[in-house]
A and B are shown apart, each in its own frame.
Chain A
Amino acid sequence: MPRPNMKQEKSKDFKGTMIKLFNNLDRWRYLLIIAVIFAFLSAVLSTIGPNKLADVTDVISDGIKPDVAKLEDISKEIVKHNFQEFEYEGVVISTQDQKEYMEIVSTITPDMDNEEIIEKMDKLPKSISSLVEAKMDTDALTSRSILLGVIYLLNCIFGYIQGIIMAYVGISYAKKLRSDISRKINRIPLKYFDSHEAGDVLSRVTNDVDTIGINISNTVTSLVANITLFLGSIVMMFVTNWIMALTAILSSILGFAFSAILLKISQKYFVQRQEELGSLNGHIEEIFSGHSVVKAYNGEEEALREFNEINDRLYYCNRKSQFLSGIMQPIMMFIGNFGYVMVCVVGAILVMNNMINFGVIVAFMIYIRLFTNPLSRIAQAMTTMQSIAAAGERVFEFLDEEELSDEAEITSKLDRESAKGNIEFKNVKFGYSKDKTIIKDFTASVKAGDKIAIVGPTGAGKTTMVNLLMKFYEIHDGDILIDGVSIKDLSRDNIHKLFIMILQDTWLFDGSIRENLIFNNKNVSDEELWKICKHVGIDHFIKTLPGGLSAGVGDNNSISSGQKQLLTIARGMVEDAPFLILDEATSNVDTRTEELVQKAMDKLMVGRTSFIIAHRLSTIKNADLILVMNEGNIIEQGTHDELLKKKGFYAKLYNSQFVK
């Protein structure tokens, strides 16, 4: 079903994107070409069809008109033979028949019209009527009908083959693009997601890919077929009869011009409409999501007033765009009808002057339709191509993003089992953008089993340390050594294997608890899972869920954020690695669940070199090293007592919580 052209999008580089798209089509390219050939052939057959139909029509119309000239000839013969029986073209005409015939003929008067004459002739004796009656060339009829039937059949079959191929190409290509994007998500440097919203990538995966996948299967072949039809019908019209061809083209041109103007105007309103819809959407989203604030602050009237304003504007564009696009169809119909009449009238003149056969008119009746339909479809296909290009541009833009550095040359390896757990920071320099260094010169040495607390006010850049340790970002200068090996010489995979990472946002995916706990690990038995859950103190809770370990998370609101945090801790335990990165923040968790979480965290830290984004005093106080961060930089480092003595930033921060 044709979708209303709601959005007219312009691509920045139409040609470039199209070429890229074609090359990206990969092995489906060949299928596309085959489909295009079939579409072309099918269209060619469509243009030949009417011409062959004209042949059939001619055979039929030749078989209608009685041979009046022969009638006069017979009359002469009768007079010549003086009502004696004679043979005419092998038919014996008896005296009786001749008399009957003359009686009927004598009643014909010059003022009689054609129909009355033919009515009289129907009463002629068998022998004579068989002579004058029009005879249809049944052999020609059969052969021409069969030919036409074959053309029609092939036309449909080619069309169907083309449709199936393109369906396959479009869908497979969309599938490939989707999985390309999905793979890309995990290969792109993390900083991409700092500056891009998840929704942006999401809309590329769904909307943009759909736009490409669905439209590519209709548009490309439709474009080829319709251009072929358009040009083909012009050629065929001229081949059939040039006067008629000119008539058909001239009588449509005015209509085309008119509808082109209409299209232009309506496009303007469609764009406006899209904009208004967008702002209405935005307003509704804002008011609905801020519903409780709107209500508590009596903002309803104000909100409604603004809504009505946008709604009225939308109404106006809606009406215009709907109307203008709605009358395109009837105007095209009218053009068809008008052309029809013109063809008939001009055709009639030509028939009467014996310049053409009636079949030509029939052929042109169809050509007029073949000729007028493609233009609007070509216009439609062109706009769709534009939106394909725009969507393609967005998809490729994402796919062409720089990927994480290649690690093929890395040979060093640290095994999880044999790693000791020492880390050394040597003059580390880092900044999220090249020109702004936030960690200026950081040096520290961490022994196996140490506990390092990272503290600082909100937004101080505590997660930066996580990003560097996990090699999510690469340091600009200096080095971080794990058991004496530079992280530059270790693959990301390897480093990740050495670390357990538990972050503040308790990320779980939509699946069972079991799947979430095991995650990427393999061969973890339920027994082991239960052991870990018991250790973390979440076994009881899991048992209360319907299905136990098989219970789903994600859509399940009965799991509180504290429990989710416990689950992520358990997941970390399943992973079991010598280093730990832990964000202690439990801001969404109440204090009593927090206690449970803390106990679990404490257990996790045992025997591991731990980096803890600290939020509680106990952690900070007994940490082996405290890193105090502010505005991205590490401004103080030392133990709790050392830092308090310093009476610096840390001391101030620590004491502030007791201010009344």
Chain B
Amino acid sequence: MLKIFRNFEKKDYFIILFMSILVTFSVFLDLRMPEYMSKITMLIQTEDSTMKDILISGGHMILCAVLSLICTIIVGYLSSLLSARFSRIMRRKIFEKVESFGVAEIKKFSTSSLITRNTNDVTQIEMLLAMGLQMIIKAPIMAVWALFKIIGKSGELSLVTGIGVLIIVVVNLVIIAIVSPRFQIIQTLTDKLNGVTRENILGVRVVHAFNAEDFMGQRFGKVNDKLSSIHLKITKTFALFDPVMNFVMQFQHLGIYVVGAILIINSGMLGKITMFSNMVVFSSYGIQVIFSFLMLTMIFMVLPRARVSIKRINEVLDADVSIVSGDFNGKTEEVGTVEFKNVSFKYPDADEYILKNINFKANKGEVVAFIGSTGSGKSTLINLIPRLYDATDGEVFVDGVNVKEYQLKELNNRIGFISQTPFMFTGSVEDNVAYGDNGRKKISLDKVKEAIEIAQAKDFVEKMDDGYKSHIARGGTNVSGGQKQRLSIARAIARDPEIYIFDDSFSALDYQTDAKLRKELKKHMKDATSLIVAQRIGTIMSADKIIVLDKGECVGIGTHKELLKNCEVYKEIALSQLSEEELQNA
């Protein structure tokens, strides 16, 4: 857990040291104050003391208070500086680390969890530092010092204070013990409640169609009941806190007075006055002692939460990155080729191979298509080219060079990858199409317009309010699935790569648009190589080479006509979509 604080810089340690010194000084000042108070008390009690004496002591006390205030403000400044700096560094480190992740790591953590780790968890630690650091330094110093002040003055009064401290510590520990495990349960139940509600909203049509409103209500009710009962337990336990603290402080005060009175009765005339001032001192030091122990227990309340966050952050920072960049960025002999040599792939933790012994080569300008049932490994196969994953066995070559040898940037510059689920960034249409860096100069508006036209997106983009400057909302919610797909195709075209990879990128388009788009693409990218994954036979029928995958194995390579003759799997797929007659006509 403490490992995370290695992210402090040297300067930060000096700040902490300086803070500790200031805190110690302010504790010294805070504890001086009751002494002046008791002096003032004594002065008031004795008859021949003058107003001047009282004013001097009062002045001293105010001086102490001012100095202590100044110290605390500086400490506050330092601690806010420290915590804000620390959280800034942590956020950046996590963000950079996640950027370096491959798809495997992202999947392992899940995107939403990574977002929480990058924001909320860091905020948790920031809070701990901002509030807790002062407390952690101050509470022990205060507790020990205040104890020293009273110890030896009066055993009986110390005992009263001690009992107060004991009650507070015990009650707090009990509260923490009851509450903190339940907080974790609350977290999971809240997630569950969210889950049940989300389910209901997403399936609201089905729920209506099956008249299952009450059924869903009961499911919700169960979680709601459980959540509420644990919530109630926690809140009830917390309800103890204030009254008990009040009780202890008030009765400690009263206790010190009563015990003090008995002691006064039993002491000599001189003893009486000393005892009285002791009594007053105790009643204020006692509160200091109790406060400092209260602070200490508070730390135990904050700490477990922060510890969870720290653990989650460390998991990200310590994760091994599976995809390491190579260092090749020179010229290649071949251009626009992709070759797989005995490539097999399985997920790190899986037993079974998703791809087995794949061999093929795509030459410059060729269209190579991949078809097969779900789980046949089509998407996985093409994911190996831009190194979203690395092949478990065998080698993948782009332009004759093993992909692992490329600098990742250089490899990506050669590829235009269109993923299965189109992704839009917040920003204008132009920003989205001209996105990224292709190692050449920035993509011009003309180029963007051209790409959009080829991708069959011109019509709707120009119909949008601000044309190419139109705003795309977060997640692309203001454009339809098919429009997103076309824009992400335009994004790849604008990049002007040697190799296009379409991962089922035409699925949301209707037949007409699909056909037209492919025709345009063919016309404009004669020199580029395309790798296409598709479900529809119609999309891939005209490819130069069709690779048929079944359960991770390549069961046929050839053209549409060839495969219809000699590949059973292909024929099956084709027939399931078109009738024999239609296939012939095509």
A487 to B512, CA, bound (A): 37
* Nearest chain B CB to A61 CB, angstrom units: 7
* Nearest chain B CB to A310 CB, angstrom units: 9
A302 at the interface (CB under 8 A from B): yes
* Contact indicator A297/B436 (Cβ below 8 Å): yes
Closest to B87 in A: A318
Closest to A145 in B: B258
Stretch with Cβ within 8 A of B (4 or more), from A277-285, A443-451, A529-537: A277-285
* Contact indicator A341/B61 (Cβ below 8 Å): yes
A80 at the interface (CB under 8 A from B): no
A660 to B190, CA, bound (A): 53
* Contact indicator A63/B535 (Cβ below 8 Å): no
Complex partner residue of B65 from A63, A145, A213, A337, CB under 8 angstroms: A337
B153 at the interface (CB under 8 A from A): no
* Contact indicator A149/B576 (Cβ below 8 Å): no
A to B CB contacts below 8 Å, 29 in the list: A114-B48, A118-B269, A122-B270, A122-B271, A149-B254, A155-B250, A186-B207, A206-B193, A288-B115, A289-B475, A291-B98, A291-B111, A292-B388, A293-B435, A295-B99, A295-B386, A298-B413, A308-B92, A322-B83, A326-B79, A330-B69, A349-B51, A361-B44, A457-B513, A466-B205, A470-B205, A496-B210, A507-B199, A656-B515
Complex partner residue of A160 from B49, B119, B240, CB under 8 angstroms: B240
B304 at the interface (CB under 8 A from A): no
Interface SS of B by simple majority: helix
A322 to B129, CA, bound (A): 10
B242 at the interface (CB under 8 A from A): yes
A30 at the interface (CB under 8 A from B): no
* Nearest chain A CB to B110 CB, angstrom units: 10
A352 at the interface (CB under 8 A from B): yes
* Contact indicator A660/B512 (Cβ below 8 Å): no
Q: A160-B239, A160-B243, A590-B376 are in contact. Are A64 and B273 (CB under 8 A)?
A: yes
* Contact indicator A284/B242 (Cβ below 8 Å): no
A653 at the interface (CB under 8 A from B): yes
- Interface residues as binary, B251-263 with A (CB distance below 8 Å gives 1, 0 otherwise): 1011001101100
Residues of B contacting A318 in the complex (Cβ-Cβ under 8 angstroms) = 80, 83-84, 87-88, 126
- Interface residues as binary, A551-577 with B (CB distance below 8 Å gives 1, 0 otherwise): 000000000111000000000000100
Closest to B199 in A: A509
A86 at the interface (CB under 8 A from B): no
A151 to B318, CA, bound (A): 58
* Nearest chain B CB to A353 CB, angstrom units: 10
Residues of A contacting B340 in the complex (Cβ-Cβ under 8 angstroms) = none
Complex partner residue of A56 from B101, B126, B224, B257, CB under 8 angstroms: B257
Interface SS of A by simple majority: helix
Contacts A56-B254, A588-B374 known; 9 new A-B pairs at CB < 8 A: A113-B48, A114-B47, A205-B194, A205-B197, A214-B235, A304-B99, A326-B131, A458-B510, A507-B203
* Contact indicator B260/A60 (Cβ below 8 Å): yes
| Residues 404-447 (chain B) with a chain A CB within 8 angstroms | 408-409, 412-413, 415, 417, 419, 423, 425-426, 435-439
* Contact indicator A338/B62 (Cβ below 8 Å): yes
**How many pairs of A and B residues are in contact by the CB < 8 Å rule?**
472
* Contact indicator B482/A174 (Cβ below 8 Å): no
* Contact indicator A198/B373 (Cβ below 8 Å): no
Complex partner residue of B119 from A149, A156, A280, CB under 8 angstroms: A280
Complex partner residue of A501 from B95, B209, B242, CB under 8 angstroms: B209
| Residues 496-536 (chain A) with a chain B CB within 8 angstroms | 496-497, 499, 501, 503, 505, 507, 509-510, 519-520
Residues of A contacting B481 in the complex (Cβ-Cβ under 8 angstroms) = 458
* Contact indicator B58/A587 (Cβ below 8 Å): no
Interchain residue pairs A-B with the least CB separation, the first 7: A297-B436, A163-B239, A590-B373, A520-B212, A507-B203, A590-B374, A167-B235
Stretch with Cβ within 8 A of A (4 or more), from B306-314, B326-334, B392-400, B577-585: B577-585
- Interface residues as binary, A618-660 with B (CB distance below 8 Å gives 1, 0 otherwise): 1000000000000000000000000000000000110011111
| Residues 107-148 (chain B) with a chain A CB within 8 angstroms | 111, 114-115, 118-119, 123, 126-127, 130-131, 134
* Nearest chain A CB to B371 CB, angstrom units: 8
B13 at the interface (CB under 8 A from A): no
Closest to A204 in B: B197
* Contact indicator A186/B243 (Cβ below 8 Å): no
Complex partner residue of B84 from A315, A330, A347, A352, CB under 8 angstroms: A315
A358 to B559, CA, bound (A): 106
Residues of A contacting B214 in the complex (Cβ-Cβ under 8 angstroms) = 520
A134 to B45, CA, bound (A): 13
A436 to B205, CA, bound (A): 23
* Nearest chain B CB to A458 CB, angstrom units: 5
A493 to B212, CA, bound (A): 10
Complex partner residue of A163 from B190, B242, B388, B535, CB under 8 angstroms: B242
* Nearest chain B CB to A591 CB, angstrom units: 4
Residues of B contacting A152 in the complex (Cβ-Cβ under 8 angstroms) = 246-247, 250-251, 254
Residues of A contacting B480 in the complex (Cβ-Cβ under 8 angstroms) = 458-459
Residues of B contacting A182 in the complex (Cβ-Cβ under 8 angstroms) = 197, 200, 216-217, 220-221, 224
* Contact indicator B220/A592 (Cβ below 8 Å): no
* Contact indicator A519/B436 (Cβ below 8 Å): no
* Contact indicator B119/A213 (Cβ below 8 Å): no
A155 to B165, CA, bound (A): 20
Residues of B contacting A589 in the complex (Cβ-Cβ under 8 angstroms) = 374
